[in-house]
Amino acid sequence: MTRVPPRPRRARCSGRRLAPLLSSALLACALLLSAAPTEADDRLQVVTLTPGVHAVIGSTNEASPHNGGEVGNAGFIVGAEATVVVNTGTSYQHGRRLIELAERVGGRPVALAIITQPLPEFILGSAAFTERGIPLLAHEAAARLIMQRCEQCLSRLQRLLGEDAMRGTRVVEPARRIAGSTRITVGGRSLELLHFGWGATPGDLAVFDPASGVLFAGALVSAGRVPELRDADVAGWLTALDALAATPFSTLVPGYGRGGDSGALAATRHYLATAAAHVRQRLDEGASLHECVQGARTDPAFAAFSGWALFEASHTRNVQKLYLEFEAEAFRR
């Protein structure tokens, strides 16, 4: 049974409870950083972070037939009575395998799936969950966006991956919605659901398990992968990252990549701040959109990110998006 209390509560961590968390933090981070899977199911790699908390590591590349569209990360949080799955995967088949793997690894039935962002790789496996009677939980803004545009996402992936790979996949509306940060208890495990406003997407959620100190940051954090700004409010995203950094986590699971500690959070913030500063400076100098985008290809400020996944695919799109957004802001002044 799931209980959502009427008043949200922020995560607190006493020194007494933090000490054992810190004693195991280095081990948990090492496990996630090394990504030695404890169990594999075809492309799915499962890393045990602490007893009862597992990360499912996906590809950091764009969806393709090669990776089956299984990009981005998911997770399992196992309580005394049931398991919570974080994100449902890219397709019905992906979602079904996540359920089977969660129940095999955790030894408990899945009672809830939490969607961190309204992105295809996090939500299009939802039909497998509803087929089993497993409720979906999302922020209300994420739920609206899912119903507004995810049919288009599904069509695109059907063309890209093929009908067989996407067979049985459909867009499912989350039945449970929250409006802000709150605490829930599922299967005997108490979790903090954190929302700091519009960041990577309108309905961002992060999932914090105070008992283990593990934080599932979703698409708010990427490790070794250029963040995609299509749906982003960059100022809000930076604010959300600062709030996440203040959360007393010991292990961080990013939405993409291996992560482990706060390094991926800091690196994501550095990229966002650098991109925003580059675009604002070029606008102030009177640069055209073309000049701004071309400059972003060679600006030494971005050298640290050039080896990240999706740099070629996403970086110039991000700069273009920011230029048009900041230019429009200037016109409204």
pLDDT digits (tens, 9 = 90+) for 198-232: 999 999 999 999 999 999 999 999 999 999 999 99
CA nearest neighbour of 304 among 242, 226, 252? 226
Report the percentage of the chain scoring pLDDT > 70.
87
Count other C-beta atoms under 10 Å from residue 36's C-beta: 11
Is a pLDDT exceeding 90 seen at residue 45? no
For 115-136, what is each residue's pLDDT tens digit? 999 999 999 999 999 999 999 9
Residue 12 predicted with pLDDT over 90: no
Q: Could you give the residue ranges of the DSSP H alpha helices within 246-288?
A: 263-284
β-partners of residue 222 are 256
Report yes or no: 147 and 175 within 8 Å, Cβ to Cβ.
no
Tokens standing for residue 322 = 């920011």
Q: Which two tokens stand for residue 96?
A: 């079904």
Burial class (CB in 10 A: 0-12, 13-18, 19+), 158: middle
What pLDDT is attached to residue 210? 98
C-alpha span between 147 and 127 (Å, rounded): 14
Would you place residue 306 in the very low, low, confident or very high pLDDT band (cuts 50, 70, 90)?
Answer: very high
Contact between residue 166 and residue 92 where contact means Cβ atoms under 8 Å apart: yes
β strands within 140-245, DSSP E? 176-178, 182-186, 189-194, 206-209, 214-222
Of the candidates 84, 26, 90, the residue with the CA atom closest to the CA atom of residue 58: 90
Three-class DSSP category at 225: strand
Say how far apart CA 141 and CA 109 lie, in whole Å. 28
Ordered by where they begin, the domains of the chain are: 15-261 (3.60.15.10), 275-332 (no CATH)
Residue 328 has pLDDT above 90, yes or no: yes
Dist. CA 276–CA 273, nearest whole Å: 5
What CA–CA distance (Å, rounded) separates 287 from 292?
A: 6
Residue 330 pLDDT:
86
Query: Can you say how many angstroms the Cα of residue 38 is from the centroid of all Cα atoms in its chain?
Result: 21
Map tokens 């999302």 to a residue.
138
Rounded Cα gap, residues 187 and 84, in angstroms? 8
| Rounded mean pLDDT, 264-270 | 97
Alpha-carbon Rg for the chain, nearest whole angstrom, is 19
Distance CA 208, CA 105 (A): 20
H or E element, residue 240: helix 234-245
- Residue 84 above 90 pLDDT? yes
> Taking Cα atoms as reference points, which of 47, 28, 48, 13 lies closest to residue 211?
13
Q: What is the mean pLDDT of residues 231-241?
A: 97
Beta strand ranges found along the chain (DSSP E): 39-41, 44-50, 53-57, 74-78, 83-86, 110-114, 136-139, 176-178, 182-186, 189-194, 206-209, 214-222, 251-256
pTM, two decimal places: 0.89
The SS3 assignment for 327 reads helix
